[in-house]
Amino acid sequence: MEKILITSESVTEGHPDKLCDQISDKILDEFMARDRWARVAVETMASDQIVFIAGEISSAVTVDIEAVVRSVIREIGYTHMEYGMDAERCLVLSNINVQSSDIAGGVNKAGEYNEQRIGNWQEHIQTWGAGDQGMMYGYACRETKEYMPLSIHLAHRLAERLAQVRKKGRLPYLRPDGKTQVTVEYDGKGRPIALDTIIIAAQHDETVSYDKLREDIMNEVIHPLLPADIRTSNIKIYVNSTGKFTLGGPRADTGLTGRKIMVDTYGGVCRHGGGAFSGKDPSKVDRSGAYMARYVAKNIVAAGMAERCEIGLAYAIGVACPVAINVHTFGTGKISNEQIITIVREQFDFRPGAIIENFNLLRPIYQETAVYGHFGRPDKSFPWEKVIALG
């Protein structure tokens, strides 16, 4: 049978782009904690010792954005210039405007929401329109118990493990920046049969030799995570393949919110819509619509209707119902796509207000999503990962 190789990557929380995602989502969380009706769209850029925050926020409360930025940088482990950024000494700049009234009017046609005017939430679900036009995709498969592709699942777990052994002091010479990459071999029927390649790039200090670094990464990070139910005998492993990775973080590479969208989703295994997630409140269907698409795809697979499923949604700004809903099962469907679409339309409500209510999205849960993936997290119980009974 034809040999098929699929590759996915992940990054640690100290990767410059992921640093920016976490800052943007932490700012969102701080507003959500104080004002659940806040409208937030925040972007972060980090370069050397400068962090720049830009975006649009409409809220009844204020947040000390500089303090939030420094807390995230500190929590990740950037506490010294030599690591790639210093939380206490970096320069934080911001340029925040209010949300466009044209966009706000498209979302809540009756006017700007607040706790006093909103009354019964159920009465207003019909009036919520999508916060933007666009398309978004959700995916699920049976390759892992989390219903995620094996390549991105393992890449995330390796990246998490890199951070764990650093923070717990098992490999104290590691620094916050790092990347992982996993290539999986599939048979001609789309089933994973072997691990082909693992790549680890781990930032470290000057004191450790390459030989010790490689040995430690093999023993503490890679070997504990190799799955027992897939062939690994001929696996190729690369650890810091340039030999040295001491300069990392924003000092080595500029970071930007929303630049790791394949890391956030399915590792490139399926299609991706036009928008990133981090820094956006759930009125933006880039985020809430993608969560809903994953929820539907996962439940279709969990119900045994297909082995693999991709859900595609498309919205128009200011319109509540999606203008298109598509289902693709890659030839694995147990029933026809037309039957699945009928079930999906009958049992799921895709209006933004209904999604927000169903997943309880007007609360501070977003920083946790900003690293190691928004989907299929074994350590988190995100509401869009819930499995329900489908009729």
pLDDT one-digit tens code per residue, 117-176: 445 555 565 567 787 889 999 999 999 999 999 999 999 999 999 999 999 999 999 999
| pLDDT attached to residue 320 | 86
109 within some domain? no
| pLDDT attached to residue 116 | 44
97 within some domain? no
The alpha carbon dihedral of 360, 362, 365, 369 has a sign of: positive
Q: Does residue 113 register a pLDDT over 50? A: no
Are 138 and 185 found together in one domain? no
- List helix spans (H) across the chain: 16-34, 65-76, 101-107, 115-118, 150-167, 210-217, 261-264, 285-302, 337-347, 352-359
| pLDDT attached to residue 231 | 87
31 within some domain? no
- Range name among 37-46, 103-112, 306-315 with the lowest pLDDT average: 103-112
**Which tokens belong to 384?**
């869009």
Q: How much is the pTM?
A: 0.93
CATH number of the domain at 195, please. 3.30.300.10
Q: Does residue 192 register a pLDDT over 50? A: yes
Are 170 and 138 found together in one domain? no
Are 227 and 304 found together in one domain? no
Q: Does residue 275 register a pLDDT over 60? A: yes
217 within some domain? yes
Chain centroid to Cα 139, Å, comes to 13
Q: Does residue 323 register a pLDDT over 60? A: yes
352 within some domain? yes
Give the structural domain span for 208.
4-10+149-248
Are 139 and 172 found together in one domain? no
Are 293 and 354 found together in one domain? yes
Count the domains in the chain. 2
Per-residue pLDDT tens over the stretch 349-389: 999 999 999 999 999 999 999 999 999 999 899 999 999 98
| pLDDT attached to residue 377 | 95
* Residue 228 neighbours by CB under 8 Å, 6+ apart: none
**Residue whose C-alpha is closest to residue 175's, from 166, 183, 184:** 166
| pLDDT attached to residue 100 | 63
